[in-house]
Amino acid sequence: MKTRAAKVGLEPIVVKNSVNREAARNLGTLFLQASPLQTAFAEVALRGRLSCQSADRARSAGFSTVSAFCGQSCLGLVQAMPWTDPQQPMRVSFVYRTFGSPQSSLEVLVRELPPRDPGSLRVRVSHVPVNPSDLIPITGAYAHRITLPGVAGYEGVGRVVEAPDGLSHMVGRRVLPLRGEGTWQTYVDCPAHHAVEVPDTVPDLVAARAYINPLAAATMLRLWPVRDKVVLLSGAGSSCSEHLGRWAISQGARRVMGIYRSECRKDRLHRVGIEPIAASDFSAISNASVVADVAFDALGGDVATGILERMREETDFVAYGLLTGKPVLTRAGIRARYHRFHMRDHFPVLADQGMQSAFAQIWPLLEDAPPSPARVFPAQAWREALSEVERPGGQKTILDLTSLG
């Protein structure tokens, strides 16, 4: 270990389970703590500022390296290795041990792969999206139903590398590993009946985003049909809202309007056939609310409350998101039917009917109308990816986990 470290001119620090993390940070060491359950596990932090060239030398010296996790280019190099078998595959995971800002609460953990459950597929994940729905749980918004430590991420795409008896034909196939472990890790185990096979015609960057938003949009349009109706969308720049708008048009909606918060969203809404309304144009929002037959709200807060208060009788207001972090107020005198939509409430029904069946309808929709282009970041640049998502008007973001080797 020391010999290999010397080849790249770095000082190794070997630690086991119980460590002083603050002291490690003060040393300028990029440090990841091992799980207390991994007793036969050591971590090596290599202290020193690394150039890209020295990181390459470290890899050629035999290190299984993960570089630049501190968010600065090529600063810090970590190897996590079992004491028993240096060739054992490792899993890199984005975990949070406390609730708070994703930038401060998320950390990267490198550890030995545990045994696979006999009924699960093991998937080598290639790409994962960075959605608000991935980041909000880290803040503690859903602390009542999350057990720490948690692994970030709800969706992604990858290839099956191990399968149970009777499913060996799945090895090598691309799947969405649904309802298993958090997806922001290089290997994910998921129940075999929840893995959805991806058609060859669907690219990775589309498949990685095919679960949360498309499934939610398709389910809402099934529950609240829009043919010959006027549809109003809030948070129209979001991925789910765009799916709702485009698919509502294809399903025969008479008119679709979308309230956007960032000016850079306006042109795209025009291009896909959604009438854009600025969130600052209160008069236009009021007029749209009065004529809307169905409203799908992703924002919550004052805009959503204003829409609900102005909608007519026998209309439907569907609250499915909370991007503002503020609730919709349902005061006396509301005439529209108020509905709260949580995708998780519909998973049992979908599981009984078969996820493959649900996605048989979604794949053609995504082929005909793929989501807006995404900006792809190598996994080592995850902090920059989070900053892009948090930036007003930021581009949709995907992490490339293949960059972890």
| Nearest alpha-carbon partner for 231 in 307, 132, 328 | 307
Environment class of residue 27 by beta-carbon count within 10 Å: exposed (0-12), middle (13-18) or buried (19+)? Answer: middle
Q: Is the pLDDT of residue 357 over 90?
A: no
In angstroms, rounded to a whole number, what is the distance separating the alpha carbons of residues 121 and 118?
8
**pLDDT value of residue 257:** 98
Task: Choose between 204 and 75: higher pLDDT.
Answer: 204
243 and 213 in contact (C-beta within 8 Å)? yes
Checking if the pLDDT of 288 tops 80, the result is yes
Q: Which residue has the higher pLDDT, 397 or 143?
A: 397
CA–CA gap between residue 81 and residue 326 (Å, rounded): 45
Is 90 exceeded by the pLDDT of residue 277?
A: yes
Rounded-to-integer distance, Cα 307 and Cα 317, Å: 8
Whose structure tokens read 């896909």? 272
Q: How many CB atoms lie within 10 A of CB 97?
A: 13
For residue 152, report the phi and psi dihedrals to the nearest 5 degrees: -70, 160
Average pLDDT over residues 338-358: 76
Length of the chain in residues, anyone?
A: 405
Residue 283 has pLDDT above 90, yes or no: yes
pLDDT recorded at residue 179? 78
Mean pLDDT of the chain: 80
Q: What are the angstrom distances between the C-alpha of 375 and each of 282, 367, 386? A: 32, 19, 12
Contact 253, 227 (CB under 8 A): yes
- Global confidence as pTM: 0.73
Strand-pairing partners, residue 96, are 106, 150
**pLDDT on residue 201:** 93
Cis omega (within 30 of 0) on the bond before 149?
yes
Query: At 194, is the pLDDT very low, low, confident or very high (cuts 50, 70, 90)?
Result: confident
Q: What is the mean pLDDT of residues 219-245?
A: 95
Per-residue pLDDT, averaged over 260-273, amounts to: 90
What pLDDT was estimated at residue 316?
Answer: 98
Percent of the chain at pLDDT > 70 equals 76
Residue 23 has pLDDT above 50, yes or no: no
344: left (phi over 0), alpha (psi -120 to 50) or beta: alpha
Listed residue (319, 320, 314, 318) closest to 335, CA to CA:
314
**Is a pLDDT exceeding 50 seen at residue 13?**
no
Most confident of 48-62, 330-344, 358-372: 330-344
Q: CA 349 to CA 404: how far, in whole Å?
A: 36
- For the chain, the C-alpha Rg in angstroms (whole number) is 23
Work out the pLDDT band at 356, boundaries 50, 70, 90.
confident
Least confident of 63-77, 98-112, 277-291: 63-77
**Which has the higher per-residue pLDDT, 113 or 20?**
113
Residue 356 to residue 28: CA distance in whole angstroms? 48
More confident site: 369 or 68: 369
- Angle of the 282-291 helix axis to the 301-310 helix axis, nearest 10: 40
Per-residue pLDDT averaged across 207-232, rounded?
A: 95
Q: What pLDDT, on a 0 to 100 scale, did the predictor assign at position 180?
A: 75
